[in-house]
Amino acid sequence: MADSENKEINKKRGFNFDLKTYTMIIALLSIWVIFFITTKGDFLTPRNFSNLLRQMSSTAILATGMVFVIIAGQIDLSVGSLLGLLGGIAAILNVWLNVDGILSILITLLIGLLLGIWNGWWVAYKKVPSFIVTLAGMLLFRGILIGISKGLTIAPLSADFQFVGQAYLTKPIGYILGILAIIATVYGVLNGRKSKIKYGLDTPSLSIDILKIVGLVLLIVVFVGVLNIYQGIPLPVFILALIALVFSYIASRTVFGRRVYALGGNIEAAKLSGIDVKKITLILFAINGLLAAVAGVLLASRLNAASVAAGQNAELDAIAACVIGGASLMGGVGTVGGAIIGALVMASIDNGMSMLNTPPFWQYVVKGLILLIAVWIDMESKNKE
């Protein structure tokens, strides 16, 4: 009797998860169709699609780090200022101090990691709420950026620095990566099914898994094909894909990932089960700082400049992307894939409304309403559970 009840609960959870995931994808496709019609097809040209993905890569990388923080039941309001500061430091090293582009990037990544540890230390070991620590960090990092840059725009960057944010993978490399992605997708779905059957977990029917494989393969073919029609896969998008793969694996397949979910689900239970809450919290903020450095470098490289305005409100975009992508601000729920889809939704709205010459205030209004609806759906689903 108990087993049958558990299976029923698992089915409901699986159905809710799928419903939430598919709702996001359907919402994204609907936004694309609306802009495709209203821009008379210009929105989905290979060139604009490539630009859209390049523009969203910085926000998506921020959201990848942010979703881990949110899953653990914390928040980080400083990543926008951190992105601007770290992009500024990289540009100052490269332009004003003539440091080699690659070395500038490596130093910036290290500084990002240290600043993330700074945030995490206050939260984990000094018990200051993350909202206050990162709110202070938002002001602190922005102030440092204005001070060290003297309010100036720092440009132009060296060619090797620009390469990171502006280069494209060649078309043959794009096709090879596409084939590897298809092989990995088929293996991942079938291997996951095999593992579920082995451990007696609730498993969808074979036809649903085959349908899932067909849909994902079709998505990869269209993705690579459209980008190759233009100039190939943008390097920032490739970097984003690598980061997404690594952190998706960490979240779903490692002990660390399971402990992060446990932390957000019930922190007292996590402590009683022996999880080192302070250490994990510190690591999460350190990762967030490192990814903010990556996003800052990519943004400065893409724009070929760093300025005091870089990264303003980026923390809100990252948080909104996580929530739209299914993460719960109460902790314990969220995925890297969902956060990236959420970032794509935000970037699509920005891009499409800009193409329609919509006044900027409408972009804030629309994004605010979408965020509100996403949180409302999350609350409603929790209340039903």
Over residues 73-87, the mean pLDDT reads 95
| Contacts of residue 299, Cβ cutoff 8 Å, sequence gap at least 6 | 58, 83, 87, 165, 310, 311
Position 94 pLDDT exceeds 90: yes
Which structure tokens are listed for 157? Answer: 């960057």
CB contact burial 15-25 (16+ within 10 A = b; e otherwise):
eeeeebbeebe
Mean pLDDT calculated for residue range 166-173? 93
**70 inside domain:** yes
Rg (CA), the chain: 21
The span from the CA of 9 to the CA of 159, in Å, is 56
pLDDT tens, position by position, 11-20:
444 444 456 6
Q: Is the pLDDT of residue 379 over 60?
A: yes
Structural domain contains residue 9: no
Predicted TM-score (pTM) of the model is: 0.89
Question: Is residue 194 in a domain?
Answer: no
Per the structure, the count of domains in the chain is 1
Domain assignment of residue 8, yes or no: no
Give domain status of residue 25, yes or no.
Answer: no
- Which pair of tokens denotes residue 202? 């609730």
Q: How far is CA 311 from the centre of its chain?
A: 15
Of 225-229, 234-238, 241-245, 329-333, the one with minimum mean pLDDT is: 329-333
Is residue 151 in a domain?
A: yes
pLDDT at 16: 46
| Average confidence (pLDDT) over 129-155 | 94
In-domain check, residue 189: no
Is the CB of residue 257 less than 8 Å from the CB of residue 272? Answer: no
DSSP string for 236-292: HHHHHHHHHHHHHHHHHHSHHHHHHHHHHH-HHHHHHTT--HHHHHHHHHHHHHHHH
Which residues span the domain enclosing 272? 38-170+232-383
Taking residues 365-371, what's their average pLDDT?
84
pLDDT of the residue at 174: 92
Q: What is the CATH number of the domain that holds 157?
A: 1.10.3470
Q: Are 311 and 84 in contact (CB under 8 A)?
A: yes
- Does residue 150 sit within a domain? yes
> What average pLDDT does the segment 250-269 reach?
92
